[in-house]
Structure 1
Amino acid sequence: MSVDIALSELERDALTELVNIGVSRAASSLRKMIGEEVILSVPAIEILSPKDASRLIEEREAGQLVAVRQQFEGAFAGRALLIFPEETSLDLVRAVVGNQLSPDEVAEMEQEALAETGNVILNGCLATMANMLKRSLDISLPEVIRGDGPLLFELLHQRAEGGLVLFLYINFSVRNRDIRGYIAMLMDLPSLAALQQLIADFIERVVGKEVESVSSKGTDSQNASWQA
Structure 2
Amino acid sequence: MERDALTELVNIGVSRAAASLRKMVGGEVLLSVPSVEVIGNRQAAALIQEREGGELVAVWQEFSGAFKGRALLIFPHANSLELVRAVVGAAVPAEEVTGLEDEALTETGNVILNSCLATMANMLQRPLAMSLPQVLRGRGEALLSVPGGAGDEGLVLFLYINFSVRDRSIRGYIAMVMDLPSLGALRLLVGDFIERVMRDEPDHDL
What is the letter of the counterpart of residue 73 of structure 1?
S
Alignment of 1:31-180 (within 5 A): 31-155=22-146, 158-159=149-150, 162-180=153-171
CA distance in structure 1 between the partners assigned to 2:35 and 2:143 by the alignment:
22
CA distance in structure 2 between the partners assigned to 1:157 and 1:191 by the alignment:
13
Percent identity, please: 65
- Contact 1:160 1:188 survives alignment (8 Å): no
What is the letter of the counterpart of residue 185 of structure 1?
M
**After TM superposition, where is structure 1 displaced by more than 6 Å over at least 4 residues in a row?**
none
RMSD: 1.7
Higher Cα Rg, which structure: 1
Partner of 1:189: 180
CA distance in structure 2 between the partners assigned to 1:134 and 1:57 by the alignment:
32
Structure 1, unpaired ranges of 5+: 1-9, 219-228
What is the letter of the counterpart of residue 203 of structure 2?
V
Q: What is the TM-score of this pair, normalised by structure 1?
A: 0.85
Residue 9 of structure 2 corresponds to residue 18 of structure 1:
yes
Instruction: Tell me by how many angstroms 1:105 deviates.
Output: 1.8
CA distance in structure 1 between the partners assigned to 2:25 and 2:86 by the alignment:
9
Deviations 1:19-51 (A, max 9, x none): 111111111222233332211113321111011
Q: What is the TM-score of this pair, normalised by structure 2?
A: 0.94
Instruction: Tell me by how many angstroms 1:170 deviates.
Output: 1.2
Higher RCO (C-alpha 8 Å, min separation 6): 2
- Contact 1:70 1:143 survives alignment (8 Å): yes
The alpha-carbon distance between structure 1 residues 156 and 71, as it changes in their structure 2 partners (threshold 3 A), is: closer
- Contact 1:78 1:188 survives alignment (8 Å): yes
What is the letter of the counterpart of residue 122 of structure 2?
N
